[in-house]
Structure formats: structure tokens, C-alpha cells
Structure 1
Amino acid sequence: MTLHNYYYHYYYYYYYYYYYYYYYYYYYYYYYYYYYFYYYVYYHYYYYYYYYFYFYYYYYYYYYFYFYYYYYYYYYYFFYYYYYYYYYYYYYYSYYYYYYYYYYYYYYYYYYYYYYYYYYYYYYYYFYYYYYYYYYLYYYYYYYYYYYYYY
């Protein structure tokens, strides 16, 4: 082996050595780079979807309970006012009809007893009228015949 060949092989050997060395170095460098890059992307997408679904369900249940609350609220007040006005008008008209029939029967019995006493005193008056009429008539004829026969 000549000196020329020796240096030739020597540099050739180191050339390939450094070539493969940098090749693997950059290979692993990019490998880990892309690994962490994809890990980073995957990680953020994971949390992105996690928070996305989290807020999705949060707002879903929020509007669900919001809707449920207001549905229950309006439902409650609807029946509250319904029964309120129902009993209000019920007692109002019951009160009205109660006093209506009360005064009706009051005046009915009032006029009933009025006419009753009216006819009572009417017959009473005529009874005494005829009583005294016949009474005086009787004494009239009595004294008439008495004077007639004795004088």
C-alpha cells in the first residue's frame, strides 16, 4: 500500500464515518422533533376536543335547566293564576247568588207575611164590623118590638 492509497482510504473511511454519523444524528433529531411535534399537536387537539365537549355539555345542560326552570316557572304561575281567578270568580258569584237568593226569600217572606197580616186584619175588621152590625141590629129590633108591644 502506497502512501497515497493509505491517505485515500483513511479519508474515505472518515468521510463515510462522519456521513453516517450526521445522517443518524439528523435522522434521530428529526425523528424526535416530529415525535414531539405530533405529540404536541395530538395533546392540544385532545384538550381542544376535551374542552369543546366540556363546554358543549355545559351549555347543553345550562340551557336544558334554563328551559326546564322557565317552563316550570310559567307552568306554576299559569296554574296559580288559573286557580286564583277560578276561586275568585267562584266565591264572587257564590257570594252574589247567595245574597241574591237571600234578598229574594227575604222579600218573598216579607210580602207573604205582609199580605198574611193584611188579610188577617181585613177579616178581623169585617168580623167585628158584622159582629157589631148584627149586635146593634139585634138591639134595634129588640127595642123596637119592645116599644111596639108595650107602648
Structure 2
Amino acid sequence: MSGEIVGKLLITLQERDGKFGPNVIKKLKIPENVYLTCSKSGKLDKKIVETWVVNCLKPAITSNVLLLCDSWGGQKDQNLYLEVENICQVQVIPPHTTGQIQPLDVYFFRQAKIFKKKMKDRILIDQLPISIHDRQIGTRRMIPVHFAM
């Protein structure tokens, strides 16, 4: 409610074998506020959510917290949140309402999608040698891009 992001952002990437290869582990730079994991599909599963609860959610909260979960089965299972049941109230967002209710969809992802589109358009217009889909973007020489919003 304070408008601040608490804890680490969970990002799940798709990897062929469901685990990061040695080269990816060696080269990938992971920010401190990101909990990075992977799966074969690139989607969450119950094991990933349970690991996130133990490693990220539990250490980040100290008093009563409201956690809004998607109605997807891999998140709404109350057994996933047993580690934090005394300090975390879990509420499930009704099906087909995520775009109107879920805070990240309403306030963050919408703006992020607009920003990504502007960035992609600018790269194409100026014919810059940048791949916005490259995981290793932080390891290459970056060309400054100026946006007119």
C-alpha cells in the first residue's frame, strides 16, 4: 500500500532442460532485487512458487501482508503459503479479471509494454545495432538511445 516494491521480483525464463547451463550461469548478471529461475516451459509451477515463498517472500515481510494471487492453480493453492500463513493473508484474484485488478498488470506492465514498444520503434527507426531480446545486453557496449515521450 505504500507504493513500494517489497522483496525480490520473481522472473522465470525458459530453458530447454529446465535448468540454466554453465555458460548462462557464468555470463548472466542478476540484479539483487531479482529472483531468477527457469523451467522447460518458461512458466511458473508450484515448486517455483513454493521456493519463492521460502526464499523471497518470507524474508521480505515482517508484519501482516496481503498477497494477491492469480487464479491460476499453481499460485492459488493455500498449501504453498504455509511458511508465511501467520503473517500473510492470501487472496485470489477472480478468473478473467487479472487485467483490471492485479496491481502489476494495471500499473506496471501496461507502462512497461508502452516503454518497450517506444524503445523497439526507436531502435528500428534509427537502425541501431541493438537486440532488445538479448539476455546478455548488459555485457555489450550500449549505444545511448533518447526517447521523446
Q: Same fold (TM over 0.5)?
A: no
Between 1 and 2, higher relative CO (CA 8 Å, sep ≥ 6) is seen in 2
Report which of the two structures shows the higher radius of gyration computed on alpha carbons. 1
- The structure with the greater share of residues assigned to helix is 1
TM-score class normalised by the smaller sequence? under 0.3
Which protein has the bigger strand share?
A: 2
